[in-house]
Copies of this chain bind each other. A is one copy, B any other.
Amino acid sequence: MDTLATTRADCLALDAADPLGAARDAFELPPDVVYLDGNSLGPPPRLARERMQAVLEREWGVGLVRSWNDAGWIEAPLRVGAKIARLIGAAPGEVVVADSTTVNIFKLLSAALALRPGRRVIVMREGDFPTDGYVAGGLAAMTGAELRCVAATELEGAVEADVAAFCVTHVDYRTGEMLDMHGLTAAAHRVGALAMWDLCHSAGAVPLDVTAADVDLAVGCGYKYLNGGPGAPAFCMVATRHHERLQQPLWGWMGHAAPFAFEPGYRPGAGITRMLSGTPPMVAIAALEAGVDAWLGIDMSAVRAKSLALADLCMTLVAQRCSGLGIEVVTPRDPERRGAQVSLRFADAYPLCRALIARGVIGDFRPPDILRLGLTPLYLRYVDIYDAVEAIREVLTSAVWRRPEYAVRTVVT
């Protein structure tokens, strides 16, 4: 073995010196698992248990309907939104928690078209996360808007004077590639278009400053890096400068200026509140708030430094230990161009992924041939990366992934 190769002891030493090492204590993780899928579903923060118990027993059970006032339920979408705003560099009144990512994309794209009357084109990226394109397609079918889907490298050129907005994922869900938020936003503004960023793989993953980047609209996921629980509510962000003319088509009582006046006509509420539609899902928001609160006091630049270090370690170990085994890194090596994941290409990535999960190394598969490893510095250790790559090496060299049971497709991949 190469004497310069990274050893497990090296990784343990890195963990011992890790300024974020104690953050792991805030999460519940099974002892026999290396969890590399926090970019799909983050693990429960320890806070979630007591928060959900409080909501169930004290607020819902004892307070009952009074808790809409007394426990601050009614303010929860804005309160948790303001906490997420800090994580993405938005102002407190620019973010609200509501619905799913999908539904928020619909609302935000509609808002973009309304903010740019006369422009009917939405620019998106080929190969972006499917739901973004599906929503835009549904909206286009309904309104006559036109979708323009281009490769990432052609995004800037595709945003022309007929474009209302582009909507792209900041960090690619498949490859982990990160786009230039400042540059693309500025390019859109030069032709009068709006910049809408999908932050599903960015919020809680990389430092964000949507204000500095002059972002117009953004959407993000609560259940990935924010650790808000399976199917947690999403968030949407609208820059203050657009609030006055902001409109979205899912008019609902919670977006009304006076929800409990029960007026027959719709009057949109002030600012970001008009992005709300139905009743806030309080049980789900309580779990999300626990996840978001686990981020309070965390230094995002330390998170970024560790996430890059974990990724470097992962890529180095794959090169050192898995060369010649048919697996390659597809995530860009340039730190400026990647998020918080490492994606590996392997022809039979699906059975490889299943074989690893059977060994407690949980990543996920993205078709056609990607094994995706999420690198989440709050609860991952350097030694976890070592053990994961070692597991990959063993599964590949032993060819255990060829066992028929690993080829059987599960519903969710």
Contact = CB atoms under 8 A, between A and B. Distances in A.
B41 A260 contact: no
A73 to B, nearest CB: 6
A279 B67 contact: no
Contacts of A100: 99, 252, 277-279, 281
A139 B249 contact: yes
Contact of A231 (B103, B261, B283): B283
Q: How large is the interface on A (under 10, 10 to 19, 20 to 34, 35 or more residues)?
A: 35 or more
Contact of A367 (B57, B69, B261): B261
A176 interface: no
A49 to B, nearest CB: 6
A37 interface: yes
A204 interface: no
Contacts of A174: 262
B67 A230 contact: yes
Question: How many chain copies does the complex carry?
Answer: 2
B251 A138 contact: yes
A73 B99 CA distance: 18
A412 B74 contact: yes
B232 A264 contact: no
A131 interface: yes
Given A49-B57, A61-B44, A357-B66, A251 B137 contact: yes
A139 B362 CA distance: 43
B33 A126 contact: no
A305 to B, nearest CB: 26
A102 B278 contact: yes
Contacts of A133: 264-266
Contacts of A264: 126-127, 130, 133, 149
A278 B99 contact: yes
Contact of A99 (B103, B129, B410): B103
Contacts of A139: 249
A250 interface: yes
A277 B103 contact: yes
Contact of A283 (B61, B141, B229, B252): B229
Contacts of A186: none
A28 interface: yes
Interface string A402-413: 000000001111
A287 interface: yes
Interface in A122-140: 126-127, 129-131, 133-135, 137-139
A231 B69 contact: no
Interface string A58-86: 01111011111100011100000000000
A30 B60 CA distance: 10
Nearest to A142: B249
B49 A64 contact: no
Given A64-B43, A142-B110, A135 B250 contact: yes
A376 interface: no
Contacts of A284: 231, 281, 283-284
A281 B131 contact: no
Contacts of A255: 134
